[in-house]
Structure 1
Amino acid sequence: MDERINIAIDGPAGAGKSTVARSVAEALGYIYIDTGAMYRAVTWSAREAGLDIENDEAVAAHARKLDIRLAPGPEGQIVLLGGEDVTDRIRSRDVNLHVSRVAAIDGVRVRLVEMQRGLAAAKGVVMDGRDIGSHVLPDAELKVYLTASVQERARRRHREAGDSLGITLEVMEREIEERDRKDMGRAVSPLIQADDAVLLDSTGIPADEVVSRIREMALEKLAEAKQDAL
């Protein structure tokens, strides 16, 4: 393809953003960027360092010193922190419970958004998160707000990691509802659907079908861009 666009996929926890975004990127030959993993890396590192995550200045200063890199791996994306693979460690329940707080810190977001925009400058990326279409990449050619019912999202998360986390499906539902409340209610870049984003509810829809729909929308946007260039 001569033309390339940027694709922003936003939505709440457990909506399947990472799985879908990764597959869309593979289908189009684009680069996949999991911004949530970047916030998880900051959270994990701050907790490991013994920082009080209620101390905005300390956590933001810590984030500015971190070297966070994303690389392709055999099972998806690898998250490197200072050159060390922390992909599995940032998916712990402790990180799940504290990442929304860290993501609400303005200094942390400023640092990571700067990195994310730099990655997307050359076009051809699929980026997922909470505020990609509304804040990080407001000029993305295709924006999708991917969601699903709380019950569906809890089932997915529990099926993926519930046993390893040692919690019940009911607890998972409550934690996801609390995560939604924090993400939607934060003062800095809250989780919202961008005005020009396509709403896609994945409840009961297989992931491959969701990927197919987004791929078709991307091809339509590419065709429009080529037509406009004539």
Structure 2
Amino acid sequence: MFVTFPEPVIPERLRLGKSLVVAVDGPSGSGKSSISKAVARRLGLAFLDTGAMYRALTWHCLNGRINLENAAAVEAAARTVKIEQSLTPDGDFVRVNGINVTGPIREPDISKAVSAVATNLGARRELVRRQQEIIAQCGSRIVVEGRDITTVVAPRAEARLILTASEEARLRRRGLQLGGSQTQAQLREQVVGRDAKDATVVDFQRAADGVYTVDSSELDFEETVDAVINVVRRSVNEGPAA
């Protein structure tokens, strides 16, 4: 009997020996995390989900009974909490002060509360500082996704893009991701409602100068990954992807 195994993904090696930071912003439900992971895997880069950091801090505050309306307390928590997370596209773990919160930070109560933390400017400054440290620790060869990556966290990234999709597509995708566990009203609050709250502190739906836009409304997963990699290759002047 012969057993076959899938061929391993051989990463494309762009800018060998040089920095290659891919900054990805976009609204909720646009597929930032899954697409960014696939791009990191294809390009042999590290991967950072900055949204998980905000969720981890939110979990820490709620677990410690810190009032999210107390801006100073939330900012202080951001400076002292220890957050560990996977920095590879094939890993998926988040720990807060040594506690595994990989699953809990995706629960609806965290999704409902996270904007209160994400719009806290002091907490945001601290997490941005940490994110920039992580980029440096990874040798500036990393895909970073979030809300303010192209303009604040990594404004000098070699490739910067906004990944977007129609509201209908984003609601549908988030619903599938959650396995139909949310009502349409709950989905709309998680996607559209959160975007509206976060937009009060950062503009993540309009491309700044030099930032590409990839609209995945009519693209499937692999087509979207290819479109993003084409943007990366174009940005570093290595031609379109094959």
TM-score normalised by structure 1 residue count: 0.89
Q: Does 1:132 align with 2:149?
A: yes
Query: Alignment partner of 1:97: what SS?
Result: helix
Q: Following TM superposition, by how much is the alpha carbon of 1:221 offset from its aligned partner in structure 2, in angstroms? A: 3.1
Instruction: Answer yes or no: is the 8 Å Cα contact 2:37–2:89 preserved in 1.
Output: no
Q: Which moved more, 1:24-33 or 1:79-88?
A: 79-88
Q: Does 1:70 align with 2:85?
A: yes
Partner of 2:21: 6
Identity of aligned residues (%): 36
Partner of 1:16: 31
Q: Following TM superposition, by how much is the alpha carbon of 1:156 offset from its aligned partner in structure 2, in angstroms? A: 1.0
Q: Following TM superposition, by how much is the alpha carbon of 1:75 offset from its aligned partner in structure 2, in angstroms? A: 5.8
Q: Which runs of 5+ in 1 are unaligned?
A: 225-230
- Matched residue type, 2:174: R
Partner of 1:227: none
Q: Following TM superposition, by how much is the alpha carbon of 1:170 offset from its aligned partner in structure 2, in angstroms? A: 4.1
* Structure 2 counterpart of 1:145, from 162, 179, 185: 162
Q: Following TM superposition, by how much is the alpha carbon of 1:195 offset from its aligned partner in structure 2, in angstroms? A: 2.1
Matches within 5 A, 1:75-224: 76-121=91-136, 122-163=139-180, 166-186=181-201, 189-192=202-205, 193-223=207-237
Change (3 A) 1:27 1:74: closer
- Matched residue type, 1:153: R
Partner of 1:60: 75
1:42 and 1:190 map into 2 onto residues whose CA distance is: 21
1:75 and 1:222 map into 2 onto residues whose CA distance is: 25
Q: Which runs of 5+ in 2 are unaligned?
A: 1-15
Q: CA RMSD in A?
A: 1.8
Query: Alignment partner of 1:77: what SS?
Result: coil
Q: How many residues align?
A: 220
Partner of 1:228: none
Choose between structure 1 and 2: higher helix proportion. Answer: 1
TM-score normalised by structure 2 residue count: 0.85
